[in-house]
Every structure is written in structure tokens, then in C-alpha cells.
A and B are shown apart, each in its own frame.
Chain A
Amino acid sequence: MTLSLDGYSQLILAGTWVTLKVSFLSLVVSFFIGLAGAMAKLSSNPMLAWAASLYTTLIRGIPALVLMLLLYFSVQMGLNRVTENFGMQQIDIEPVSAAIMVLGFIYGAYFTETFRGAYLAVPRGQMEAAMAIGMPWFRAFRRIQFPQMMRFALPGVTNNWLVLVKTAGLVSLLGVNDMVKAARQAGNATMRQFFFYGVVAVLFLAITSLSQVLLNYLERRFAVGVREARL
């Protein structure tokens, strides 16, 4: 068994870029869905809180792969039906952006739970004090609540991100040309599937290890204002 990439390094590199893009952009989407979901879950409006609870319970109870196939293909089918009825040309959803939206929607539920817990961990008085000196709610949230709750949220965010990256390895099943698909093509062409999937596994390991280092740094950064007793 040789260790040469047989001229497939470009393909795998392009796939790695797609995997990174899909995971990072779905992290951004799910981050904002998570913040909105946490606010909804904690809101005093019972309808909003109920809808957010339904969202997190349903999404977290169903395997991500099932949801990916369900959402991706049924949205496309629904869209086809609409365009057919109106006699328009078929609109094909572009796989990469669809994968980002679907992954973002799924992990939004996990981030909702993370942020809900983190929001509750910050003493109420902080927000009340900010409002009392006349800050509008959004500014108080951005300057007072958010930086403090991120310290409690970061371990959960790290965990969600690592699971999200590993789930992003499934997007080749939706037709995205990510690095798993690149490895499949390279492996089938050279009959060295084990080697090429192994390369992808190493790349995933590199991504997860590097993110752990970065997120540990962020965790220390957000805990800068907290006094710790040292022995």
C-alpha cells in the first residue's frame, strides 16, 4: 500500500473546503437560531415558549440523518409541486446552501437548549440593572447579558460544534461534493477506498482537534473577568 494521493489531492482539498464551509456556515445559522430559540423558550408569551419547546423536542428526538433527508427532499418535492402548479420552470435547490440551512435548522435546536441554560445562569440583576440605567433591551443584551452568558454557553457550544462537524460528514448523501464524496470518487477510481477514507478521517481528526484548541482558548478568554481560587 502506497501513501500517494495519485493526483487526487486537488479533489480532496476542494472537498475539504466544502466540508469546512458547510460546517462553519451551518454553525452561524444554528447559533442565531439558537439565540432566538432560547429567547422564545424563556419568553413570557406562552405560544412562543410552547412553539420553541416543540421545536427542540421534535428535532432533538429524531436522528439528524433522517431529518436531513426528510427536510431536503420534501422541500424540493414541495417546491416542484408549487412550480408545476404555476407552470413555472423547476427550481433546483442548490445542494450546498440547502445542506447549510438543514444542518443549521437541526443544530439550532441543540443551541437553543445550550443558550437557554446559559441565559438562566447569569444573575437576573445584571439585565435589570442595565435596563434601569436606560439601556434599550437589545443593547443591554449585547453588552451585558451576551458576554456573560457566553462563558456558561461555551462548553456546550464546543460540544455542539464537534457533533455538527461530524454530522457534516453526512452531506455527501444529499449530493454535496464534500470530502467524503471526493474520497469515494478517488477510492473507487484507484480501488484504494480504505486509504482515501483514512485520509478523510485524518482530516476530520485535524479539524476537531484544532477546534478544541481554539475553543479552549475562547473559553479562557470569556472567563477573564472571573476570579478563581488557586491552591
Chain B
Amino acid sequence: MIDLIQTYWKSYLWTDGFNTTGLAMTMWLLILSCAMGFVLSIPMAIARTSRNPWLWRPVWLFTYIFRGTPLFVQLLMVYSGFAGIHFIRHSPLLWSFFRAGFNCVIVTFVVNTCAYTTEIFAGAIKATPFGEIEAGQAIGMSKATLYRRVILPSSLRRALPAYSNEVIFMLHSTSVAFTATVPDLLKVAVDVNAATFMTFQAYGIAAVIYLGVAFLLVGLFRQAERRWLAYLQPQNLQANPRPKEQPC
């Protein structure tokens, strides 16, 4: 066990000497796919809540398909499937992109997390109290301003608890990247297991690191909720006594 850690700790954490591996790769996958998924999901959530069926129906279909099928099968379709499609195989630009396992993984993850995040944000937008929107209209805000200043800030805050679940879920999902030869944390564990036959230890170290990251993310999101959802917290005067007002 000690030998195993001494030999492989660098691979588990950030590098095998040539490439980024292990935890660093897992976090890179997580940050990249969550960031891009977040940016894409906001316009899609707005379209999803629109009253125009030409806008909401395609988005509904998109989230229905990508939330109803396993990420692993989606990844296989992109990683193994795209290579057999004539159109992609013979377009130099597309093929140079989809030949790399990493790119296939990122594309699949972004689309997948985008589908889940879109539904989360759409649910939060629908839950916006009508008074907030009417107040905005009443002072003459345009639709864009209304979204930018009223609807999005309040609904993104409300979506925070569900969104934190999605990020943890995505952290767990990044482990399928190893099937596309991306050297993430699980791939390192698989390789260490193959090299040492110490199955429990090899996978156990990866499991402990995943657990640590999950706890860290939970802690970070709790901080974020305390900051941005403070106005929705129940008042607990016992735990947080209000500072005494200073006499002038």
C-alpha cells in the first residue's frame, strides 16, 4: 500500500510525467464541461420556458433525449460511432477534432450536462414570482433588461441547490471518460490495478479522492448558498445573534 502510494501518487494527482492525469484531468473535465454547459443552458432554459412552441418544443425534445439515455451510451455514439460516419470521417476538420478521445468526451459531457442544467434553470425561471416580473414591466423595463436584471438573477439563485447536485453528479459522471482513453482519475486506478494487481488499494485511493472532491464541492456550494440565498434562509436568532445596535 505504502509502496503503491509512493510510486503512483503523482499519477493519481496530476501527472504521469508526460501528460496531465488523475485528479487534475478529472477536475479539468468537470470545470470545462460544467462551464460550457452552464453558458449554453441559460439561453436554452429561456427558450424552454417560452410560450412559442417553435422555441420550447425542440428544447424539450433535446432534454428528453439526453436525460433519458445513459451518458455512457452517448459517449460511445460519439467516440466509437462518429468514426464510422462517412461525412465526419472524410471532413478533415471534423475528423481531426473527433479523432481525439478528449474532444469526444468534452462534447458529450457538455451536451449531457447542458440538458440537465437546462431543465433545472427552466424550472427555476417558471417559479419566478409574478410580482417580480410585473414590477419590472411596470417601471418600463424591456424584455432583455427584465431577464438580465430581474428574472435571471433571482431564478439562478433559486436554482443553486439543484445545480449543486448536478455538479456533484457530473463529477461522478466524469469517471466514464476512461472508456475513451482519457487519463482521468479512474483511468489511473485501472492502470495501477493492471500493473500491481492490488485491486482494492488501486481503486480505493481513487474512491477516497473522489469522496474528498465531492465533500469539497458540497462545502463550496454551501458557502455559495449562504452568500446568494441569504435572504431566503430561515431566521435563526439563536445561532446568529444579531449584533447589538450601537448607540449613536
Binding site for B on A (CB under 8 A): 1, 58, 61-67, 69-70, 73-74, 77-78, 165-167, 169-170, 173, 180, 183-184, 187, 191-195, 197-198, 200-201, 204-205, 208-209
Residue of B whose beta carbon sits closest to that of A73 = B199
Listed by A's residue number, 8 A-B pairs whose Cβ atoms lie within 8 Å are A61-B210, A61-B211, A65-B175, A66-B189, A67-B207, A170-B176, A191-B84, A201-B74
Per the bound structure, the CA–CA distance linking A61 and B171 in Å amounts to 10
* Minimal beta-carbon separation of A6 from chain B (angstroms): 14
Closest CB pairs A-B (n = 6)? A194-B81, A169-B70, A63-B172, A70-B203, A74-B200, A166-B70
Looking at B71, B173, B199, the one whose CB has the most chain A CB atoms below 10 A away is B199
Contact assessment for B186 and A73 in the assembled complex, using a CB-CB cutoff below 8 Å: no
Contact of A64 among B84, B172, B199 (CB under 8 A): B172
CB within 8 Å for A74 and B203 given contacts A61-B215, A63-B171, A192-B84: yes
Is the pair A62, B65 in contact by a Cβ cutoff of 8 Å?
no
A74 to B197, CA, bound (A): 10
Checking B68, B73, B82 against A200 with a beta-carbon cut-off of 8 angstroms, the contacting residue is: B73
A-B contacts, CB under 8 A, total: 110
Query: When A63-B172, A66-B186, A66-B203 are in contact, do A198 and B81 touch as well, CB less than 8 Å?
Result: yes
Which of B76, B84, B175, B207: most chain A Cβ within 10 A? B76
Q: What range describes how many residues of B lie at the interface?
A: 35 or more
A166: nearest residue on chain B (CB-CB)? Answer: B70
- Determine whether the beta carbon of B77 is less than 8 Å from that of A62: no
For B69, give its contact among A64, A69, A183, A204 (CB under 8 Å). Answer: A204
B189: chain A residues at CB < 8 Å are 66, 69
Bound CA span A184–B77, Å: 10
Among B72, B80, B193, B211, chain A packs the most CB atoms within 10 A around the CB of: B72
Among candidates A63, A74, A187, residue contacting B80 with C-beta atoms closer than 8 Å? A187
Minimum CB distance partner of B218 in chain A = A61
What sequence of 0s and 1s flags, for each residue 224-238 of chain B, a beta carbon within 8 Å of any chain A beta carbon? 000000000000000
Contact yes or no, A173 B207, CB < 8 A: no
Known contacts A63-B171, A63-B173, A67-B207; is-contact A209 B77 (Cβ 8 Å) = no
Given A69-B189, A201-B69; 8 other pairs, CB 8 A cutoff: A63-B173, A63-B175, A64-B172, A70-B203, A184-B76, A193-B81, A193-B83, A195-B81
